[in-house]
Chains A and B, each alone.
Chain A
Amino acid sequence: MIAVELRKLFRRPRTWVTIGLLNGLPVLVAVLLALTDLAPRPGEGPVFLSAVLTNGTLYPLAALAIVLPLFLPIAVSVVAGEAVAGEAQAGTLRYLLARPAGRTRLLIAKLVAVIAFVLVTVVVVAAVGYLTGQLLFDVSPIGGTALSGTTLTSQEIAGRTLLAIGYVTVSMLGVAAFALFFSTLTDSPLGATLGALAVLIASSLLFTLDAASAFAPYLPTRYWLAFVDLFRDPVLWRDVVRGVALQGVYVVVLVGAAWANFTTKDVTS
């Protein structure tokens, strides 16, 4: 069942178009930076971006930082919102369930497929970012500088970049779980996607609001930028650990709710 869902997802042209579009922005930014040599002013713009002009090794991270706030969650919401509601809208859901695919199995397979999409997307963004960084910017042979001012070897940077890829993937799971849950509520994939994006935007807004600081630690976007902490020296694990745990709670609760709803739902699409 999982293999079926993965095949469905990755044989779909739209999946690759989405991933391609997602990579467009970081590449465009890199080209503009390389052509104009105008880095954003320090402390402004996406993190790591001002550093890449001197060292392209960090461009995979700059690329992730560029897509993290909006592009990536939109793509994840679209794919996860599509998961069940898309099958319902196309009418294929009734055939899958009459096959029988099993509602729980189907939901788990959809979840795994969405996670796979996130991982593939993040890896592709980092890989394209790596190529872009190597081609367009000067690359320091000895590695790069951590946020704390210590020098990281190329191996250390590679290792921490892999961790960052993993962390960004995990960060997207909360959004994915929201979209998946909404996807079991409605037969409209667009509705599910917009629902998840509404949660996302509300979370980003509340995060900036002091009055909402009481529940700021529980907002799904709260620890998204913590992948930056992996490039401090020593690594600051505090927010990374919390971010992973928070996303875990969101996934457990929302997938549980999605399961409870989907397994008892009348499929009338």
Chain B
Amino acid sequence: MVGLVAVLLALPSVIGALPASDAGTPAADLRRAVLASADVPFAGYAQSAGGLDLPVGDQLTSAADLLSDRTTMRAWYRGPADWRVDVVAPTGETGVHADPGGTWTWTWERAVATRTAPSPLALPTAPDLLPSALGRRLLSEATDAELSRIGADRLAGRDALGVRLRPADTASSVSRVDVWVDDASGVPLRVQVFGADDGQAALDTGFLEFEPTTPPAEVTAFDPPPEAELREGQDAQLLQSATRAAADGHRVRLPAALAGLDRRTIEGAPRSVGLYGRGVTLLAVSPLPGRAADGLRDALVRAPGVVVDHLGVRISAGPLGLMLVDGEDGPVLLTGTVDLDALATAATDLVPAW
């Protein structure tokens, strides 16, 4: 009797520990396989766990929740413009259905269906945390020199090959990113992002179930149900704030480089917002209206571990850094995957008067 129970309990871990075969694929080939896997259809069940406790106000709540909580997702992927990701909550569900014209976001608890057009610069949402999407994004700008192999594992019942990315930028607050890639399809099955301290992953997302089959079209399609309230999607509040601030004449002079990170351009993003860096080391700079900045500052100064000095208020949560600087025309928000020193350097670069 007791023996039987022991066997039953041990079964999952025994199967999980079956040795994974490590094909001798070089890291660079693995990265190319990942980038080429955008067309691989699949159906899966994934969980992401974030340890990023950002002490932000109401402005960023949904994104902050995503990075600090455990999120359970079901995914059906037919192609880059035809997929569906449901965030499964114990008492509800939020589903994102993508089609070539944009996305439908269905929130069951509110019975609201929101149509959103593709946006070049949006706050992260649950589909971005899917290992397939996140792994592809994080590896997209990695150089071969930054990559190494880290063995193999069994994930979601499949052979997965590990590739490790160590960003070369000194400003980066990300020490490494481990991506476990499905040997057969090239789809990332698990992504772990580690902060400066080599401890627990700051973000860990992986498939628990993964099937490389094409899901039926009716599963990814979406027709708003009759009682649903239909809404138009809007840009994230923060972006709206930035645009509004810019419209009020509050502009930031954006240099070509900040803290050693080069400026990059994003098609369609508001001109007042600047993005710097490459790969997993990114820094965003945007002006904030005074009111929004006050709320954020109030939330920040009360948080543990915050640094307040003549440069402004800055804080880091795992690999995420956030800083509020008083610019010449008004408050400026710096945020990204850079460490506190880089934030301070960026602040001095931005406001040379200091």
Contacts and interface: CB of A to CB of B under 8 A. Distances in A.
Interface stretch (B137-145, B218-226, B245-253, B341-349): B218-226
Interface in A198-250: 218, 225, 228-229, 232, 234, 236, 238, 249
Contacts of A140: 227
15 contacts: A42-B107, A42-B110, A47-B91, A51-B108, A145-B227, A147-B108, A149-B95, A225-B90, A225-B91, A228-B90, A228-B91, A236-B88, A249-B8, A253-B1, A253-B5
B111 A232 contact: no
A68 B1 CA distance: 31
A148 interface: yes
B137 to A, nearest CB: 26
A13 interface: no
A100 interface: no
A212 to B, nearest CB: 14
Contacts of A148: 86, 93, 95, 106, 108
Nearest to B97: A149
A232 B209 contact: no
A256 B1 contact: yes
B113 A149 contact: yes
Interface string A136-172: 0000101001011111000000000000000000000
A43 B92 contact: yes
A151 B92 contact: no
Nearest to B221: A150
A149 B225 contact: yes
Contacts of A51: 108, 111
Given A42-B110, A54-B111, A238-B45, A151 B88 contact: no
B109 interface: yes
A15 interface: no
Nearest to A41: B109
A188 interface: no
Contacts of A54: 111, 227
Which of A42, A65, A147, A229: most chain B Cβ within 10 A? A147
Contacts of A234: 219
A126 B45 CA distance: 31
Contacts of B86: 148, 232
Contacts of A252: 5
Which of A47, A148, A228, A236: most chain B Cβ within 10 A? A148
A: contact size bracket = 20 to 34
Nearest to B4: A252
Contacts of B225: 145, 149-151
A132 interface: no
A126 to B, nearest CB: 18
> What are the 8 closest A-B residue pairs judged by CB atoms, nearest first?
A42-B109, A47-B91, A149-B106, A147-B93, A42-B110, A145-B225, A43-B109, A225-B90
B88 A43 contact: no
B271 interface: no
Nearest to B91: A47
Contacts of B111: 51, 54, 145
A55 interface: yes
A238 B209 contact: yes
Interface string B212-239: 0000000100111111100000000000
Interface in B252-272: none
Interface of A: 42-43, 46-47, 50-51, 54-55, 65, 140, 142, 145, 147-151, 218, 225, 228-229, 232, 234, 236, 238, 249, 252-253, 256
Contact of A147 (B5, B92, B113, B226): B92
Given A236-B74, A238-B209, A249-B8, A149 B228 contact: yes
A50 B219 contact: no
A50 B93 contact: no
A211 to B, nearest CB: 13
A149 B111 CA distance: 8
A155 to B, nearest CB: 17
Interface string B94-111: 010000000000111111
A46 B5 CA distance: 34
Contacts of B106: 148-149
Contact of B227 (A42, A43, A55, A238): A55
B224 A149 contact: yes
A10 to B, nearest CB: 32
B160 to A, nearest CB: 20
Contacts of B93: 147-148, 232
Given A47-B91, A253-B5, A149 B222 contact: yes
Given A145-B225, A253-B5, A256-B1, A232 B109 contact: no
Contacts of A46: 91
A253 B228 CA distance: 47
Which of A54, A149, A228, A236: most chain B Cβ within 10 A? A149
Contacts of A232: 74, 86, 88, 93
B177 to A, nearest CB: 23
Contacts of B107: 42
Nearest to A225: B90
Contact of A50 (B1, B8, B109, B228): B109
Nearest to A217: B12
Contacts of B45: 236, 238
Interface in B46-97: 74, 86, 88-93, 95
Nearest to A257: B1
B8 A47 contact: no
A224 to B, nearest CB: 9
A31 B188 CA distance: 51
B10 to A, nearest CB: 12
A41 B92 CA distance: 12
